[in-house]
Amino acid sequence: MTDIIARYRIETCLPVEQVAETIAGEQSSGTFLPVPGETEELKARACAKVTEITLLDSADAPSLPGGRTPKGVDGPLKYQRAEVTLSFPFANVGANLPTLVATVCGNLYELSDHTGCKLLDLELPPAFGEKYPGPQFGVAGTRELAGVYDRPIFGTIVKPSVGLSPAQTAELVRELGEAGIDFVKDDELQADGPHCPLKDRVSAVMRVINNLAEKTGKKVMFAFNITDDLDAMLRHHDTVVAAGGTCVMVSLHSVGLAGLVELRKRCALPIHGHRNGWGLYTRHPLLGVEYPAWQKLWRLAGVDHLHVNGLQNKFWEPDDSVVRSVRACMTPMFRPDDTAMPVLSSGQWGGQAPETYRLTGTTDLMYVAGGGIMAHPMGPAAGLRGCNNVSASVNFSTPSPLALMAGSIVSAKRAHWSCSPPATSPQCSPPRPSAKVRACRRSWCPAGIC
């Protein structure tokens, strides 16, 4: 039986070794005072161990508030950063994903001994791989259901994110399906709201998808957002299955690990894992969790597709972090097929596809462009026309039909973003980024998007 290994980045103005020991104690057999039953024998068996410390840079000010300072020290303090590796006895935890989280991501964030603590990565004993089945479909199963091989799966997101009726959503899917799209997903904001109930949406969308499949032999994979309480998720899942659907989507943080593990047991379709809320976990470099650790938990719980953001994304994340996330999803944990299919999404359009291929070296990706396709000057279908020509022999290192298609979107975007109202326009004020949706819907917008 091997230990659970967790690697952290910490920051402290106290001795690093001491703080690492405090974290190890707090997260295993210790507390803030010695207690009677905490014998040497018990500690040897149950106390987590500090196995490695690597000093990093230091700072003049603390990253997080509430850190205690050493007594009797005058003058400015140095906040040392370090990577520390802890080893937790498996016998404390067992192959129990939720309690693993309480152990490696629990109270330690609140300790005043540090001014920064981020879980970087995890190594788990084989018992976790034996207990948790991992992805049911993964890359191979998803490709089979989508009928797409040897190239990325190209897709989009229903936009507007919320506000379309079931019939309007289905009409959009018809347009996209006829243009040859592989994959469409609900926005994470659209689950089972009163304006667009999931049952009606499934019915309307699957009628379109099934009709198209009869005509063309290609069944568009639609990830219906079933995020809800567990009984409702299972009911939604059954609705999707009964209508011939091939994918369900879940907002992972909203549902939680126990909900996902239970869904996985009952699920007959690939689970598309949306990571919304992820910024909360990771945007600060010294608080939370990094992707390599995080994705292992969700893969074990059974997710088949995992969002990784995208290159040149609309969010804050740098490209090298996105590439690292892609690689993490594709690195086997316990079996060659326990990888999750990375989903590139957020501010994507075809233009990033070749660079994505160059940096990740794989076509085992879902490439999901929402606004980047839906806002094409000539409509969503036009944005996808090139996709029909993308074949198994596509070489992403040279301009592909998708990349060429992307060119027009890039140009349109550039023109759109740089548009200014004519000086004589009475009702216009200079467009600001936040007002883009409204201010640019003017006849003078050179992009013609609106």
**In this structure, what token pair is assigned to residue 54?**
């690597």
Judged by CB, which is closer to its own copies: 241, or 410?
Answer: 410
Closest separation in Å from C-beta 92 to its own copies = 4
Judged by CB, which is closer to its own copies: 262, or 355?
Answer: 262
Q: Using alpha carbons only, how large is the chain's radius of gyration in Å?
A: 25
d(CA 91, CA 156): 45
Judged by CB, which is closer to its own copies: 178, or 218?
Answer: 178
Closest separation in Å from C-beta 425 to its own copies = 18
d(CA 336, CA 75): 54
Closest separation in Å from C-beta 390 to its own copies = 23
d(CA 393, CA 126): 38
Judged by CB, which is closer to its own copies: 25, or 401?
Answer: 25
d(CA 368, CA 351): 12
Give the list of residues 6+ apart from residue 336 with CB closer than 8 angstroms, or none: none
- Going by the DSSP 8-state scheme, the letter that residue 281 receives in this structure is H
Judged by CB, which is closer to its own copies: 32, or 214?
Answer: 32
SS3 166: helix
Residue 301 contacts residue 334 (beta carbons within 8 Å): no
Closest separation in Å from C-beta 439 to its own copies = 10
d(CA 136, CA 405): 34
Q: How far does the chain reach from its first CA to its final CA, in angstroms? A: 62
SS3 25: helix
Closest separation in Å from C-beta 416 to its own copies = 7
Closest separation in Å from C-beta 307 to its own copies = 10
Judged by CB, which is closer to its own copies: 192, or 338?
Answer: 192
Closest separation in Å from C-beta 143 to its own copies = 27
The full length of the chain comes to: 450
Give the list of residues 6+ apart from residue 131 with CB closer than 8 angstroms, or none: 95
Closest separation in Å from C-beta 286 to its own copies = 9
Judged by CB, which is closer to its own copies: 318, or 361?
Answer: 318
Judged by CB, which is closer to its own copies: 132, or 154?
Answer: 132
d(CA 68, CA 111): 9
Residue 303 contacts residue 260 (beta carbons within 8 Å): yes
Residue 274 contacts residue 186 (beta carbons within 8 Å): no
